[in-house]
Amino acid sequence: MIVHGKERDYIIHDENNVKGFFFEFRFLSNFEVTDVYFEGDVYGSTEAAYMAGKVLDPEIRKQFQKSSGISPSEARKLGQTVILRLDWENVKYDTMASVVFDKFYRNKDLRKLLLDTADKYLSEDNHWGDRYWGFCEGSGKNNLGKILMSVREFWKTDKINYKRNKLF
């Protein structure tokens, strides 16, 4: 499926690919509203948890927590205004991996949807210029897609949990 218009002809959902986390694959997006735990606190999305990870100050982190009522888009905007922790470039990938793993660990319905993507290539194709986490205008590292495929592989290869997941 290729979508025209706002998504600029880059979304491709076919038998081998999920390129663009929209429509039925919105659950793969960091903007999916679902509980995520990060370093002992609960957040309303992976976006909010990831943005909280940019700082170490507990008072600033509270602004990102679920109890604050912040939406994923509000968390993104707020996260762009904080002063980054000094080691952010060294920990940002692991922070994202941690919150994405937790998203699918705690939410078995989402885990099942992730497993249902089977062996499809997952790519955060986007029009907003994110080439670190995604892919835009022909280039990018697609680190979010790589993390999602890694989490999916974990659940597929973890035999006990995989069998349990097939039952719900």
pLDDT tens per residue across span 104-159: 999 999 999 999 999 999 999 988 899 999 998 889 999 999 999 999 999 998 65
| Number of domains making up the chain | 2
pLDDT range class, residue 15, cuts 50, 70, 90:
very high
Question: Could you give the dihedral angle defined by the CA atoms of residues 117, 123, 133 and 147, in that order, rounded to the nearest 10 degrees?
Answer: 30
- Tell whether 44 and 99 lie within a shared domain: yes
Of 52, 71, 106, which residue sits at a domain end?
106
Residue 83: give its domain's CATH number.
1.10.357.40
Tell me the C-alpha distance between 14 and 35, whole Å. Answer: 29
Q: How far apart are CA 10 and CA 167, in angstroms?
A: 35
Give the pLDDT confidence of 20-76 residue by residue, as tens digits: 998 999 999 999 999 999 999 999 999 999 999 999 999 999 999 999 999 999 999
Q: What range does the domain containing 52 cover?
A: 35-106
Q: Following DSSP, what letter does each residue of 4-65 receive, concatenated?
A: -STTTT--EESSSEEESS-GGGGGGSTTS---EEETTEEESSHHHHHHHTT---HHHHHTTB
pTM recorded for the entire structure: 0.88
Whether residues 75 and 100 share a domain: the answer is: yes
